[in-house]
Structure 1
Amino acid sequence: MSALETVYQANTQTEPAMIELKGISKEFVKPSGDVHSVLQGINLQIPKGEFVSIVGPTGCGKSTTLSLIAGFEPPTQGKVYISGQKLEGTNQRAACVFQTENAFPWKTVMDNVSLGLRLRGKNKAEANDEARKWIARVGLKDFEGHYPSQLSGGMRKRVALAQCLIVQPEILLMDEPFSALDVHTRHLMEDELLRIWEETSASVFFITHDLEEAIALSDRVIVLTAGPGARVKGDYRIDLPRPRNVAEISFDPAFMRIHQQIWQDLRDEVIISYENANKFSS
């Protein structure tokens, strides 16, 4: 095993992992009655404050894994632990950012961002004061009274970040949050995410199809095999210095070496997934 392929060892921790997937398998029953295996025997630990990205071919179960951590659905086998406690029901210590818009179109930026605190019992004045701080932190000062339709795609993503971070989650779950943005806005948002994350102690679980994005952002990159029954194929430590500029870090020779190594794992699974899709469609 090369130096770049150092696998995280849980027994080096003195505290329970913030997120632990232990022997996780997930199956769904198709309308035909057949059982479809999505995940098989997943074991994964993410300590407090670590930024982990998960990559793999389309349909390998990345979003399903996020759903299990969020508590949106239970595993078929195995257990999910959050800070050493078995997860039962929705994960109250996590917040989610998805690819699709999650702001209410009839509410202003202020109302959307403050909503999470209002639902947790804070009065309107206190919630708005806190929302104003987060709106400024994500670069939207003076846009408090705007509606989502009056904002660009990148600005709406900033609203989504503020919506999640205002509740100070211990876990941030992100499912391809920037994939719909143009490349320049995407890099700006990635840098914004890193800047804010480095000021918090949140553990991040980030789904992406973009290997360059995964490496540029993360402390670790997890590679899943092609489905059905996807499993962890690779667990790579990303030993690149922080703070990082996402657009510039890809020129680092160390970045290119890591990319080449992980791509060798990922490429084989993409080919398998492509061949399986053609097999089923023919």
Structure 2
Amino acid sequence: MNQPSTRLSESPMIDLQGVAKQFLKPSGEVHTVLQNINLRVEKGEFCSIVGPTGCGKSTTLSLIAGFEKPSYGKVRIQGETLEGINHQAACVFQTENAFPWKTVIDNVSLGLRLKGMIKGEAYQEARRWIEKVGLKGFEGHYPHQLSGGMRKRVALAQCLITQPQILLMDESFSALDVHTRHLMENELLKIWEETSASVFFITHDLEEAIALSDRVIVMTAGPGATIKGDYKIDLERPRNVAEIRFDRQFAQLHEQIWNDLRDEVMVSYASANHA
């Protein structure tokens, strides 16, 4: 049985209302990626989205970021219809976003410099965030001198230094080994709990979604994907993402959500094999 979230406010941070997204194929045929997406994410809420490959998770993120416009419906940010790029959001993707010719402190401070902050002040704030993500002492290093996990810490600091109200993350930790991944997940939770940012987190890993989130959204298989399930994750915080997986309630939630997700994965798999 799906558990709809009860956290409602007059103006949620993110509000997708009847959203659909269509693309025109080279053949001239209309391809519907998403249809009838209704989703609210409250201020300070950590919301993860899971679903089979190709169901439109990244397209949904692009709509919230303002990289794409909906074909139908509305995307509202704090009650205002989104027009163009969402300047209240910052993105952390799977790929690296640090400039290889810049040091850690130059990469982290760049967002503030682009907003007009003088170098000395930007560096001071960058040092604070570099320490916060556990990279104190690495300010003068270049990206190629860092491990994959350290580069992800740089990416987090780059985004969070601008104090975004929305953090959009697309498979951000998927390329890391399991131990580094758990460290980064815990680091993310620690920093998120100190901010009021709303997080929209895409992952293929259901365990990761449950361990991190207040809510987990399950998407149906594409094309024309929509929301199938909306689950409240009522696990105690603060959490250790490695240890919480042994909690009995975690196992119950995993079984419940997987029953929804498994059916959609099988539909997607069958469709791919008959394409």
Cα distance in 1 for partners of 2:36, 2:28 equals 23
Q: How many residues align?
A: 275
Q: CA deviation at 1:34?
A: 1.2
Cα distance in 2 for partners of 1:30, 1:131 equals 44
Q: Deviations over 1:152-177 (max 9, x none)?
A: 00000000000000000000000000
Which residue of structure 2 aligns with residue 8 of structure 1?
A: 5
Which residue of structure 2 aligns with residue 127 of structure 1?
A: 122
Cα distance in 1 for partners of 2:174, 2:32 equals 27
Gaps (5+ residues) in structure 2?
Answer: none
Which residue of structure 2 aligns with residue 172 of structure 1?
A: 167
Does residue 277 of the first structure (1) align with residue 272 of the second (2)? yes
SS at structure 2 position matched to 1:247: coil
Letter in 2 for 1:72: F
Cα distance in 1 for partners of 2:120, 2:157 equals 17
Cα distance in 1 for partners of 2:124, 2:112 equals 11
Cα distance in 2 for partners of 1:137, 1:265 equals 38
Cα distance in 1 for partners of 2:102, 2:138 equals 13
Cα distance in 1 for partners of 2:122, 2:24 equals 43
Q: CA deviation at 1:9?
A: 4.3
Which residue of structure 2 aligns with residue 237 of structure 1?
A: 232
Which residue of structure 1 aligns with residue 208 of structure 2?
A: 213
Cα distance in 2 for partners of 1:8, 1:20 equals 14
Which residue of structure 2 aligns with residue 48 of structure 1?
A: 43
Q: Percent identity?
A: 75
Q: CA deviation at 1:139?
A: 0.3
Does residue 157 of the first structure (1) align with residue 152 of the second (2)? yes
Gaps (5+ residues) in structure 1?
Answer: none
Letter in 1 for 2:272: A
SS at structure 2 position matched to 1:195: helix
Cα distance in 1 for partners of 2:27, 2:173 equals 35
SS at structure 1 position matched to 2:274: helix
Q: Deviations over 1:79-133 (max 9, x none)?
A: 0000000000000000000000000000000000000000111011110000000
Does residue 34 of the first structure (1) align with residue 29 of the second (2)? yes
Does residue 76 of the first structure (1) align with residue 71 of the second (2)? yes
Letter in 2 for 1:270: V
Which residue of structure 2 aligns with residue 246 of structure 1?
A: 241
Cα distance in 2 for partners of 1:103, 1:32 equals 38
Deviation larger for 32-41 or 160-169: 32-41
Letter in 2 for 1:82: I
Cα distance in 1 for partners of 2:145, 2:128 equals 21
Q: CA deviation at 1:6?
A: 2.3
Q: Deviations over 1:30-58 (max 9, x none)?
A: 11211111000000000100000000000
Letter in 2 for 1:143: F
Does residue 96 of the first structure (1) align with residue 91 of the second (2)? yes
Does residue 198 of the first structure (1) align with residue 193 of the second (2)? yes
SS at structure 1 position matched to 2:67: coil
Q: Deviations over 1:160-204 (max 9, x none)?
A: 000000000000000000000000000000000000000000000
- The Cα RMSD (Å) is 0.8
Cα distance in 2 for partners of 1:160, 1:16 equals 29
Letter in 1 for 2:47: V
Q: CA deviation at 1:253?
A: 0.4
Q: Deviations over 1:52-74 (max 9, x none)?
A: 00000000000000000000010
TM-score relative to the length of structure 1: 0.96
